[in-house]
Amino acid sequence: MDRLYLILTLFLLLNLAAGMWRVLRGPSAVDRMLASQLFGTTAVAILLLLAQLYEREALRDVALLFALLAAVTAVAFVRRLWQSHEHK
């Protein structure tokens, strides 16, 4: 099982790296924002896998915090930036 966890974390990290292309490419601010939303979910999955792999409960707390705060940046984008700048 441990090998599977390792392979999957690597796979997810590669996924995240591929998503970086969308951040760089855009074209609009919303697209970049969406990509960073993807990173959040992927990071949660990576942390949960690592928690199981190393048997460290604390890593699940880190993932829990990620999940709790996943919306904050996007909400700030929608409520503050999008309105005032009309980033399209």
Partner 1 sequence: MNISDYLSALLLIAGGLFFLAGTLGLLRFPDIYTRLHALTKADNVGLGLMVAGLAIQADSWAVVGKLLLIWGLVLLAGASVAYLIANGALKRGIRLWRR
Partner 2 sequence: MLFDALLGLLLLGLAWLLLSCRDLFKAIVLFVAFGLLMAIVWVRLDAPDVALAEVAIGAGLTGALLMSALAKLPVDNPPGRYSNEKTHWLLPLTLALMLLLVASGLGYALWSLPVIAPGLSGEVAANLEQSGVSNPVTAVLLNFRGYDTLLEIVVLLLALLGVWSLNSLDATPATAEKPANLVLDTLMRLLVPLLILVAAYLLWAGANSPGGAFQAGAVLAAAGVLLLLAGWRLPTALAGLPLRLALVAGPVAFITLAALTLLNARLLELPVEHAGMLILLLETFAMFSIGVTLAALFLGQRPQERGGSA
Contacts (CB under 8 A) with partner 1, residues 45-64: 45, 48-49, 52, 57, 60, 63-64
Q: Is 48 in the site for partner 2 (CB under 8 A)?
A: no
**How far is 88 from 74, CA to CA, in rounded Å?**
15
Q: 18 or 54: whose CB is closer to partner 1?
A: 18
Choosing among partner 1, partner 2, none, which partner's interface includes residue 41 (Cβ < 5 to 8 Å by kind)? Answer: partner 1
Give the largest CA-CA distance in the chain.
Answer: 50
Q: Is 35 in the site for partner 1 (CB under 8 A)?
A: yes
Q: Is 4 in the site for partner 2 (CB under 8 A)?
A: no
Q: Is 51 helix (H, G, I), strand (E, B) or coil?
A: helix
**Identified binder of partner 1 from the candidate list 24, 58, 68, 84, rule CB under 8 A:** 68
Q: Determine how many CB atoms are found less than 10 A away from the CB of residue 49.
A: 21
To the nearest 10 degrees (0 to 180), the angle between helices 2-25 and 29-54 is 170
